[in-house]
């Protein structure tokens, strides 16, 4: 019997989206699955060496997110070719049967700022092998996109965060 693989989206304004995806990737690897964990925009993530030690393949698109490189949070009408190509290459590797799970961490912000278009992501999802579990994370996923594509959709809700008390992001906790 062929396994039924689904699509997960972890979104919202609170902490825990990447952490949830990491946990799911570790669980899948523990079950013997081949996992590709990709990250957009991140330069330093403490989980990466441990994921690699567990035999999880990791690839990073470590370019700055537009929100952090300009004074305005502007949406671009011109998708980033590099970001789009990175995501397409990840899906291509998964489609060739190399992986049972593909994680694309921070895809939500890539969509929200226009670094990748919804039609491109929709096409990739529609071509996803039935044997591939897909995990997408980040803020900014359009509600219609989540309703149409997600089998699991978890929204992290911010109630309180130490950042608002002046405590900066801490290694091992936030990154």
120-149: pLDDT as tens digits: 999 999 999 999 999 999 999 999 999 999
| CA distances (Å), origin 148, targets 2, 39, 88, 171 | 23, 23, 20, 35
Q: Are 155 and 12 in contact (CB under 8 A)?
A: yes
Asked if residue 71 has pLDDT above 50, the reply is no
Task: Tell me, yes or no, whether 161 lies in a domain.
Answer: no
Q: For residue 42, what is the domain's CATH number? A: 3.40.50.300
| CA distances (Å), origin 64, targets 40, 71, 113 | 9, 13, 12
Task: Tell me, yes or no, whether 35 lies in a domain.
Answer: yes
pTM for the full predicted model: 0.88
Q: Are 8 and 75 in contact (CB under 8 A)?
A: no
| CA distances (Å), origin 175, targets 42, 46, 76, 91 | 9, 6, 27, 25
Please classify residue 30 by burial: count the beta carbons closer than 10 Å to its beta carbon, then call 0-12 exposed, 13-18 middle and 19+ buried.
Answer: exposed
Domain count along the chain: 1
Task: Tell me, yes or no, whether 158 lies in a domain.
Answer: no
- Cα distance between residue 156 and residue 175, in whole Å: 17
Q: Which of 67-76, 92-101, 116-125 has the lowest mean pLDDT?
A: 67-76
Task: Tell me, yes or no, whether 160 lies in a domain.
Answer: no
- Cα distance between residue 13 and residue 7, in whole Å: 20
Average pLDDT value for the chain: 90
Task: Tell me, yes or no, whether 172 lies in a domain.
Answer: no
Task: Tell me, yes or no, whether 156 lies in a domain.
Answer: no
Task: Tell me, yes or no, whether 154 lies in a domain.
Answer: no
Task: Tell me, yes or no, whether 56 lies in a domain.
Answer: yes
Residue 123 structural domain: 7-131
């Amino acid at each position: 019997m062929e396994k039924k693989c689904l699509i997960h989206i972890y979104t919202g304004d609170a902490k825990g989206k990447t952490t949830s995806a990491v946990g799911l990737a570790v669980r899948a690897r523990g079950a013997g699955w081949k996992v590709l964990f990709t990250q957009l925009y991140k330069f330093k993530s403490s989980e990466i060496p441990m994921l690699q030690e567990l035999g999880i393949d990791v690839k990073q698109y470590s370019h700055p997110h537009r929100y952090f490189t300009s004074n305005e949070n502007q949406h671009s009408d011109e998708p980033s070719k590099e970001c789009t190509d990175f995501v397409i290459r990840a899906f291509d590797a998964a489609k060739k049967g190399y992986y049972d799970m593909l994680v694309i961490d921070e895809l939500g912000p890539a969509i929200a700022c226009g670094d990748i278009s919804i039609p491109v992501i929709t096409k990739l999802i529609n071509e996803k092998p039935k044997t591939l579990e897909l995990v997408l994370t980040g803020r900014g996923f359009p509600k219609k996109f989540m309703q149409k594509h997600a089998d699991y959709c978890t929204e992290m809700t911010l109630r309180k965060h130490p950042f608002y008390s002046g405590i900066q992001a801490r290694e091992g906790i936030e990154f």
